[in-house]
Structure 1
Amino acid sequence: MHYKGAIFDMDGLLLDTEKVCQNAFRDACKHLSLPMLEEVYLGIIGCNAAGIKAVLCKGYGDSLDYETLREEWMKRYHRIVYHQAIPVKPGALALLKWLQAQSIPIALATSTDKELSKIKLKFSGLFEYFSCFSNGCEVKCGKPSPEIFLLAASRLNIPANECLAFEDSSNGVRSAISAGMQVHQVPDLVEPDAQVRALGQKVSVSLTEVLAFLKEQHALKK
Structure 2
Amino acid sequence: MNYQAAIFDMDGLLLDTERVCMREFKKACEVQGLPFYEAIYLSIIGRNAAGIEQIFRNTYADDFDRLHNEWRTRYNAVVKHQSIPIKQGVIELLEWLKAMNIPTAVATSTVKDVAIKKLALAGLEQYFDNVTTGCEVSHGKPDPEIYLLAASRLNIAPVHCLAFEDSNNGVRSAVSAGMISYQIPDLVEPCNEVRALGHKILPSMYQVLDELKQQRLDGAAQINV
TM-score range, shorter chain: over 0.9
Displacement after TM superposition at 1:3 (Å)? 0.2
Q: Of the candidates 185, 195, 201, which is equivalent to residue 183 of structure 2?
A: 185
* Aligned twin of 1:82: 80
Is residue 92 of structure 2 the alignment partner of residue 94 of structure 1?
yes
Q: Which amino acid aligns with 2:35?
A: P
Q: Which runs of 5+ in 2 are unaligned?
A: 221-225
C-alpha separation between the residues in 2 aligned to 1:114 and 1:208?
A: 28
* Aligned twin of 2:223: none
Displacement after TM superposition at 1:57 (Å)? 2.1
Displacement after TM superposition at 1:77 (Å)? 0.5
Q: Which amino acid aligns with 2:31?
A: H
* Aligned twin of 1:34: 34
* Aligned twin of 2:102: 104
Q: Which amino acid aligns with 2:214?
A: E
Cα RMSD for the two superposed structures = 0.8
Three-state SS of the structure 1 residue aligned to 2:120 is helix
C-alpha separation between the residues in 2 aligned to 1:104 and 1:194?
A: 32
Displacement after TM superposition at 1:66 (Å)? 1.4
Matches within 5 A, 1:17-32: 17-32=17-32
* Aligned twin of 2:15: 15
Three-state SS of the structure 2 residue aligned to 1:133 is strand
* Aligned twin of 1:130: 128
C-alpha separation between the residues in 2 aligned to 1:167 and 1:104?
A: 18
Three-state SS of the structure 1 residue aligned to 2:107 is strand
TM-score, normalization: structure 2?
0.96
C-alpha separation between the residues in 2 aligned to 1:55 and 1:183?
A: 26
4+ aligned runs moved over 3 Å, structure 1: none
Q: Which amino acid aligns with 1:183?
A: S
Displacement after TM superposition at 1:153 (Å)? 0.2
Q: Which runs of 5+ in 1 are unaligned?
A: none
Three-state SS of the structure 2 residue aligned to 1:65 is helix
Q: Which amino acid aligns with 1:156?
A: L
* Aligned twin of 1:160: 158
Q: Which amino acid aligns with 1:205?
A: P
Three-state SS of the structure 1 residue aligned to 2:132 is strand
Per-residue displacement from partner, 1:154-178 (whole Å, max 9, x unpaired)? 0000000000000000000000010
C-alpha separation between the residues in 1 aligned to 2:124 and 2:169?
A: 24
Three-state SS of the structure 2 residue aligned to 1:165 is strand
Q: Which amino acid aligns with 1:43?
A: S
